[in-house]
Structure 1
Amino acid sequence: MPPKAPLHWGLLPPAFLLPSSTRSLLPLLQQNAAQISRPSVPYTSVRSIKSTNTPRPDRFAHKPSKPALNSTSTAALERKAHSTPLRTGLIALKRGMTGMYDPATGKRTACTVLQLDRNVVVAHKTRAKNGYFAVQIGAGQREARNVTKPMLGHFAAAQVSPKRWVAEFKVKDEAGLSVRVGESVGANWFTQGQWVDVWAISRGMGFAGGMKRHGFSGQPASHGQSLMHRGMGSAGGSQGSGSRVLPGKRMAGNMGNESVTVKNLKILQVDEENGIVVVTGAVPGPKNQVIKLQDALGKPWPKGPMSVAELQSAVGALETPSGTEAAASAVA
């Protein structure tokens, strides 16, 4: 197909193509056209196909109607703000399980007893220095001769005795750092009826088969099956699948001894004097297992204290005569 002649839209057609009524206006049109600056290169039309498909949304956008996610650390903290607790958690020890009866309904509820052992704030992590807000809690006690020199210097800077366990608890903003370094936090940091999340290392059960480890149903128990009742079956295909075991295949192996999170446990009882917190249900790990306890992410934030000063003022209000009478009337 021969190339199409360029169309010069800014030029006038020849005079013989114009009607007689318009030819008298040619001098005026030429005068106006001379005043208009013409481009040095004449315009050439480009023939193309107009697409009817709508453009695809950015694959980095969380939702198609919203802009792409920002990759800065500040934007990442803003995205996690709604699911970051407002205040720090504490370190506890699992003492065992028991049952508690509800006096109103008479129903027995299985519960776990957790004990807090000398929880002290060791350090603060700030956004400017560390990139996030967190409170470092130390618990227990350890002799100085059994602590490394770097950790001895870390405890000495906070002016606290050497601790046996140290853990960090992220908080949403600077308001979560209201608990100052060196302050001790007890069991009354949590209130009866609130919800908490628990992190711990589960019991190690050694090498286990597929049925125990992953809950397989096993092979049929009859109809010619021989010595394969608890077998896991095929581990992979032959030529069609590359003659290999695909990654992530659930097989026999080491069971337990891994980090487990249990969400939304309700606190049934708090004993500040003995450092006891009783929660519903089971908690990962054997007895004397170290437990991390913090406000639940899937429940409304509790109206608990944000600092030790608020904690002491609340306790002082209850110890006054009027507060004691109010508490007795509430119990009655």
Structure 2
Amino acid sequence: MFIIKRTITMTLGIFGRKVGMTHVFDESGTSIPVTIVKAPDCRISQIKSLEKDGYNSIQLAYDEASPKQVTKAVRGHLSKSGDKIFRSFGEVRVGKIEEYKLGDLITVDDFSVGQKIKVTGTSIGKGFSGNQKRHNFSRGPMTHGSKNHRLPGSIGAGSTPGRVYPGKKMAGQLGNTKNTISTSEVIYIDNNDKILVLRGSLPGKKNNLLKILPKKF
């Protein structure tokens, strides 16, 4: 049983990987669907400024690795921010860069229970799908001699304009797109195992990379 306490923090953001889903109960006994995310420490590896790079941004290094698993260029880049080696990098846009320092660690301790967050990830790819499944279209009649059950139907507008407009909703690849869930929040934090328990379902399958940012971003 987890009790949600709402607080406000100045968390930068963190990268983590989806472990799976389960459910927990709040103090009233209501079941809450949650997603478990493994979020090891991230390190600030570069600070980009408006004067030098054209925009203010913080580069975060994540996915700790051994020196043999990265190139010499990556090792040289990371040597400016600390002694740990990371294999992956991501950016978080910020308004002011003065409050951040090169080499600082971002951990799950920077979040708080009840904090509103938004999570970005790649959804599960489901291959080629028809109109009904891909766009939630209605099917045609199933009786009275109808042969139009799951057909797309007419896609044009006659001789005028005499073509199909770009962006027409038709059959095609479903999923495997970048999605952002902006209604999640932190339900529980495990500081020892670097675990975040977040409300609701999040994009992707097991081990999918997720970018977790506080709602203020």
Paired residue for 2:144? 223
Q: Shift of residue 160 of structure 1? A: 4.0
Deviates more, 1:191-200 or 1:145-154: 145-154
Aligned-residue offset at 1:118:
2.8
How do residues 245-324 of structure 1 correspond to structure 2 at under 5 angstroms? 245-297=164-216
* 2:79 alignment partner, SS class: helix
Q: Please name the residue that 1:101 is paired with.
A: 25
- TM-score by length of structure 1 reads 0.59
Deviations 1:58-110 (A, max 9, x none): xxxxxxxxxxxxxxxxxxxxxxxxxxx9652110111111101012x110000
Shift of 1:233: 1.3
Offset at residue 145 of structure 1 (A): 3.6
More strand by share: 2
Partners in 1 of 2:110 and 2:158 — Cα distance?
Answer: 59
CA distance in structure 2 between the aligned counterparts of 1:148 and 1:134, rounded to whole angstroms: 24
Q: 1:275 to 1:247 in 2, by over 3 A?
A: same
Aligned equivalents of 1:210, 1:148: Cα separation in 2 = 45
Which one has a bigger Cα radius of gyration?
A: 1
Q: What corresponds to 2:3 in structure 1?
A: none
SS of structure 1 residue aligned to 2:118: strand
Query: Which residue number corresponds to residue 234 of structure 1?
Result: 154
Structure 2 unmatched ranges of 5 or more: 1-8
Aligned-partner Cα distance in 1 for 2:176–2:73? 28
Contact 1:142 1:163 in 2 (8 A): yes
Deviation at 1:207, TM superposition (A): 0.8
Distance in 2, matches of 1:251 and 1:276, equals: 40
Between structures 1 and 2, the one with greater helix share: 1
Q: Aligned pair count? A: 209
Given residue 177 of structure 2, which amino acid in structure 1 is its aligned partner? E
Unaligned runs of 5+ in 1: 1-84, 299-332
Within 5 Å, which residues of 2 pair with 1:99-178? 99-103=23-27, 105-175=28-98, 177-178=99-100
Tell me the secondary structure at the aligned position of residue 74 of structure 2.
helix
**Per-residue deviation at 1:294?**
0.6
* Inter-CA distance 185–166: structure 2 relative to 1 (3 Å threshold): same
Give % identity: 31
TM-score when scaled to structure 2? 0.89
Instruction: Answer 1 or 2: higher relative contact order, Cα 8 Å, separation at least 6.
Output: 2
